[in-house]
Amino acid sequence: MSQVLIVDDSHSIRELLSSILRRAGFEVTSANDGKAGLHIAKESAYDLVITDVNMPEMDGIELLGNLRKLPEYSFKPILILTTEFSQEMKQKGKDAGATGWLVKPFDPEKLIDVISRILK
Amino acid sequence: MSSTGINDSGMDEIRVIFETECNDGLDVIEAGLLALEGGDDNLDTVNDIFRGAHSIKGGAATFGYTNIAEFTHVMETLLDKVRAEELAVSPPLVKIFLESVDCLRAMVETMGGGSYDEEKTEKVKVELESWLDKVPNSESPVAAIEPGSDTESAMKAPESRCWKINFVPKNSFLLNGNQPQYIFRALAELGKVSLKPNYSNLPPFKEYKPEEMYISWEIELEANVDKAQILEEFDWVESECLVEVNEEKRPQIENYDRRAEDSRSADSSSGRRKQSRRGAKKDSGSIRVDIDKIDSLLNLVGEMVINQSMLNNQFNNSSNSEEAFASSNVELEQSLSLLERTTRELQEAVMKIRMLPVSTTFNRYPRLVYDLSSKLDKHVELKITGENTELDKTVLEKIGDPLLHLIRNSLDHGIESPEQRIAAGKDETGTIHLSASHEGGSVMIRVSDDGAGLNTKKILKKAIEKGLVSKDDTPSEQQIHDLVFHAGFSTAEVVTDVSGRGVGMDVVRNNIEEIGGRVDVHSEAGKGSTFQITLPLTLAILDGQLIQVGGEVYVIPLLSIVETVQVNMDRINVISGSGIIYRLRGEAIPVVDMRKLYNITGADALDSYEGKQLVIVESERRSIGLVVDGLLDQHQVVIKSLETNFIKVPGILGATILGDGTVSLIIDVTTLSAPISNDKTNRLEH
Amino acid sequence: MSDNEKTQEELNQYLTFVLDNEEYGVPILSVRGIQGWEKTTPLPNSPDYVMGIINLRGEVVPIVDLRKRFDLEVIPYGAHTVVIVVRIEQENKQRTVGLVVDAVADVHDINDEDMRKTPEFGEKMRNEFVRGLGLIDEKMVIILEIDELVDWQKVPGGDQVLSTKETTEDETENELVATEAA
């Protein structure tokens, strides 16, 4: 079973994503900010990381940068989940090494499509 | 909910989480705004506010609350200007933001059904937008929201079309220095893009060449463009990839929204707003627990398991031989006392889970003071201390309204107008100090103001008018102050918009006594008043005095016991037709016979009182004496509700299980009706 | 699934007990346990058939004397006197109650076709307590409607006390809400 790590400071979004992904058969772990996300990511090798951008402590971009520095996450897919739709933000995400981004609001079915494709 | 398979109840749960989250976010925003108003110019504060609005927007869009998403979007955009220092913080700006918070609260409140004032909301939104117009350079990282703009995913964009682009780069795609993201960026300039990368063509790692491209994309473009415009973007990599462009129906994510819409329309006419809010408050049966508290629980349970295995071992050893039995007895005793300690600690730890800092309630008041002081044209500073003091969740919930009333009362009646204050040689800004602290086994909450103090003359005059005090009485100052807690007593000369409507301090007092607390007032003319609330730490445990009556053991809450005296028959007076009183230091205290009250068999003749104990309890500011056979220990007891398996029994607060496993009843002091209960002024007799 | 099947089978099982030489039955699924009579803590201001409360594994449980409940002759408790602890349902709320009976009799299977409608019992027994009569060989067992047996909401004075309490609370709350709105 593929393991997915969700990093978002919003409890409801975490719950929503987790339940969607669990129903789709993924094993889901979640963290409420970048710092916790990094900590958890180090403990186990996740097949996919989905992170929010705007978070206290450590934001998604910083998390991405930190994850990409780790050998076990150099090639892992990491998706950014964001409401922001600015070019700068995307560029930042790309530069930090995001594999792709998901825009809130998301369609659960499509989300699963995206993720299933990545985790095939 | 087709393919996601989340059932409605699951979704409802998440919705409740979202609602809580919105309210928390709004609290943060509000606290931040009030801090800005108070002169805080820390950038972090603005960032906190911004993040709060941003999170609400994201969640609202995800859960299909378009109204909230759109509203917060405008707020966020404006906040971004503040963050970028393009717009300075000013009182009118804070005011419009605070009004926005109110609008959002109303919208959040009605998420589960009901209606809010859409007209007002729209007005506030327009005003927010007009603020945006005032900012010279209106470009910002938060996408603009001109009418018809379709760049923001959360917003409705009626004209936009939805395109599905299948983009399959050839393996050599990267060789020319091309990057797929260049195209994506270009597309993003047309409208909203979301990408679904397809990794299915990735070769096994061994065959993988980093310089080659194996990924293809399914691109969704929501934009008001035609096919040719899209194909144009792929023009220069045409030879390096396959591109298919098809138009698609707009993706529907409105599944989540539908139910909300339904219930909204169904409920909107019936004006059930207040009720739904109440309902929402009630179902907040969950509690957020600090991880440390859970850890300490786990540790204690661990210790108990060890204890248990120790006991097991000792039992097994002891049955080996007579000598072993004797020696293990000592060990057994030690283990038992260890187990006892762990059990007690475990109990305390479990109780702590229910404890929350009072700040969760106190946070409501800065806004109240802000609103009221501007309404009343008074300058008032609210000082809060001890906000980390913890109280049981139930107690906290019930203390909110009484506190609200006390603060409102201080603002309205306590603090004088700036002119009056200056004339009295005081600072024109009045101070209300809200504090919480542990004192003994209780929590004290005080609302103090440096206002005019209670007007003794006016109170006395009114009390005489109302017949609460007779003309010839000469009550002490404190006794007069206490009169404000009498039912229907309100000193406001004009029934003001703020604290009038006949809700007096008696309601406050009743509310506080209902949760086992008490309220007192201390006031000094010209210097101010302090209302002091004493509360039990928790409703689940209380400090009790065990007493014996007949063959039964009862528990009296320690907090309500004033003192205990040995009955002296000379001090007993029988008043024909109304009952027995006991004279103590000039006070006439009605006596209640526990045997009669609880139908306990045994002699209850008056002369049998000699040598018994009279426990004097205070209820509703009156003293009552309870005749008991004997005083036993004082214990902390866990309150078990009778209503779990039975019904509420008049006069009984609940039951508790004593150390020997028997059940004991806890006396509800507030319901004790003394035989001469009509005489409300028994404390004024001399 | 096996749970459901088991339930189906048990649905027709009844624990029977003796009360004043008559045999009564309660659905076995509602029985949580059987124990000897122990001293209770008396409850003031409660119906006389409520003997008081006991501690049942940390839970406070009321004890009802069925003879008193059925207005039968009251006899002193003896060696056979037992308390049947049952789970009843009232307004979607599960409650635990102990029933004092003369003695426990047996466990019987009674199928639907062996159930008879309740004849009028007259003064001796109130009909609302009876679900029906069960035929076991030649014997008749009175099957009780236990949810009705101790409907606390119908306790004389009970619901009155409850409703007054609730009204006062509501009023206070409304008043505070009213000022809050001001």
Domains observed in chain A? 3-118 (3.40.50.2300)
* Distance from the B55 Cα atom to the nearest Cα atom in chain A, whole angstroms: 7
For residue C158, the cross-strand partners are: none
Q: Is the pLDDT of residue B243 over 50?
A: yes
Helix axes B66-83, B43-62, angle to 10 degrees: 160
Report domain extents, chain B.
Answer: 2-134, 161-248, 291-353, 357-536, 541-684
Q: Which residues of B are annotated as catalytic?
A: 54, 76, 409
Containing structural domain, residue C167: 152-182
pLDDT for position B449? 94
Which range has the worst mean pLDDT, B6-10, B538-542, C109-113? Answer: B6-10
Contacts of C58 in chain B (CB under 8 A): 657
Chains B and C touch (3+ CB pairs under 8 A): yes
Is C101 in the same domain as C162? no
Tens-place pLDDT, residues A9-58: 888 888 888 988 888 888 899 998 899 999 999 888 888 999 998 888 88
d(CA B436, CA B443): 7
Q: Indicate left, alpha or beta for B602 from its phi (over 0: left) and psi (-120 to 50: alpha).
A: left
Segment B322-348 mean pLDDT: 77
Is C91 in the same domain as C178? no
By percentage, how much of chain B surpasses pLDDT 90? 14
Handedness of CA B604, B609, B615, B621 (dihedral sign): positive
Contact B168, B216 (CB under 8 A): yes
Number of domains in chain C: 2
Tens-place pLDDT, residues B635-681: 878 888 888 888 878 788 889 988 777 899 999 887 775 443 333 33
Segment B278-300 mean pLDDT: 62
Asked whether the beta carbons of residue B642 and residue C53 sit closer than 8 angstroms, the reply is yes
Token digits of residue B406: 């006390």
Asked whether the beta carbons of residue A10 and residue B141 sit closer than 8 angstroms, the reply is no
By percentage, how much of chain A surpasses pLDDT 90? 13
Tens-place pLDDT, residues B138-182: 444 444 333 333 333 333 334 578 888 888 888 777 654 556 776
By percentage, how much of chain C surpasses pLDDT 90? 20
pLDDT for position C10? 67
For residue B195, the cross-strand partners are: B219
Minimal Cβ distance to A117: which of B21, B192, B199? B199
Query: CA-based Rg of chain C, rounded to a whole angstrom?
Result: 20
d(CA B16, CA B13): 5
d(CA B45, CA B58): 20
For residue A52, the cross-strand partners are: A81
Tens-place pLDDT, residues B43-84: 888 888 988 898 888 888 888 888 898 899 899 889 888 888
- Write the DSSP assignment of chain C as a string of letters: -HHHHHHHHHHTEEEEEEETTEEEEEEGGGEEEEEE----B--TTS-TTEEEEEEETTEEEEEEEHHHHTTPPP----TT-EEEEEEEEETTEEEEEEEEESEEEEEEE--GGGEEPPPP-GGGS-GGGEEEEEEETTEEEEEE-HHHHT-GGGSTTHHHHHHHHHHHHHHHHHHHHHHHH-
d(CA A73, CA B456): 74
Asked whether the beta carbons of residue C155 and residue B503 sit closer than 8 angstroms, the reply is no
CATH class of domain segment(s) B161-248: alpha beta
Closest by CA position to B437, among listed B533, B339, B370: B533
Tens-place pLDDT, residues C155-180: 554 333 332 333 333 333 333 333 33
Helix (H) or strand (E) segment spanning residue B667: strand B663-667
d(CA B86, CA B134): 10
Question: Higher-confidence residue: B306 or B385?
Answer: B385
Tens-place pLDDT, residues B602-615: 555 666 778 888 99
Minimal Cβ distance to B644: which of C50, C60, C162? C60
The pair phi, psi for residue B449, each rounded to 5°, is -135, 160
* Omega within 30 of 0 (cis) for the link into B418: no
For B505-629, where are the E strands, in sequence order?
518-524, 528-536, 541-549, 552-557, 561-566, 572-575, 579-584, 587-593, 613-619, 622-628
CATH topology of domain B541-684: OB fold (Dihydrolipoamide Acetyltransferase, E2P) (2.40.50)
* Distance from the A111 Cα atom to the nearest Cα atom in chain B, whole angstroms: 9
- Write the DSSP assignment of B407-454 as a string of letters: HHHIIIIISPPHHHHHHTTS-SEEEEEEEEEEETTEEEEEEEE-S---
The pair phi, psi for residue C15, each rounded to 5°, is -90, 125
Contact B430, B413 (CB under 8 A): no
Q: Is the pLDDT of residue C2 over 90?
A: no
Name every residue whose Cβ is closer than 8 Å to that of residue C177 and which is 6 or more positions away in sequence.
Answer: B274, B401
Asked whether the beta carbons of residue B648 and residue C62 sit closer than 8 angstroms, the reply is no
For B2-53, where are the E strands, in sequence order?
none
Q: Is the pLDDT of residue B410 over 50?
A: yes
CB pairs under 8 A between B and C: 104
Is C134 in the same domain as C45? yes
Is C123 in the same domain as C165? no
Asked whether the beta carbons of residue B17 and residue A15 sit closer than 8 angstroms, the reply is yes
Contacts of C166 in chain B (CB under 8 A): none
Tens-place pLDDT, residues B18-39: 888 898 899 889 989 988 887 7
User: B181 to each of A86, A94, B187, B221, how far by Cα in Å?
Assistant: 14, 8, 9, 14
How far the first Cα of chain C sits from its last, in Å, is 57
* Distance from the C60 Cα atom to the nearest Cα atom in chain B, whole angstroms: 7
Minimal Cβ distance to C172: which of B501, B507, B652? B507
* Distance from the B171 Cα atom to the nearest Cα atom in chain C, whole angstroms: 54
- CATH code for the domain of C30: 2.40.50.180
> Predicted ipTM?
0.78
Asked whether the beta carbons of residue A103 and residue B194 sit closer than 8 angstroms, the reply is yes
pLDDT for position B598? 76
For residue A2, the cross-strand partners are: none
Closest chain C residue to B658 measured between Cα atoms? Answer: C55
Contact B173, B215 (CB under 8 A): no
Token digits of residue C45: 């201001």
pLDDT for position C17? 93
Asked whether the beta carbons of residue B58 and residue A83 sit closer than 8 angstroms, the reply is yes
Residue B552 touches chain C, beta carbons under 8 Å:
yes
CATH topology of domain B357-536: Heat Shock Protein 90 (3.30.565)
pLDDT for position B216? 85
d(CA C130, CA C121): 10
Strand, coil or helix: B339 = helix
Token digits of residue C129: 């307590």
Token digits of residue B525: 């003319």
Tens-place pLDDT, residues C41-98: 999 888 889 999 998 877 899 999 999 988 888 888 888 889 999 998 877 778 899 9
DSSP designation for B225: -
pLDDT for position B641? 81
Q: Give CATH for domain B2-134.
A: 1.20.120.160
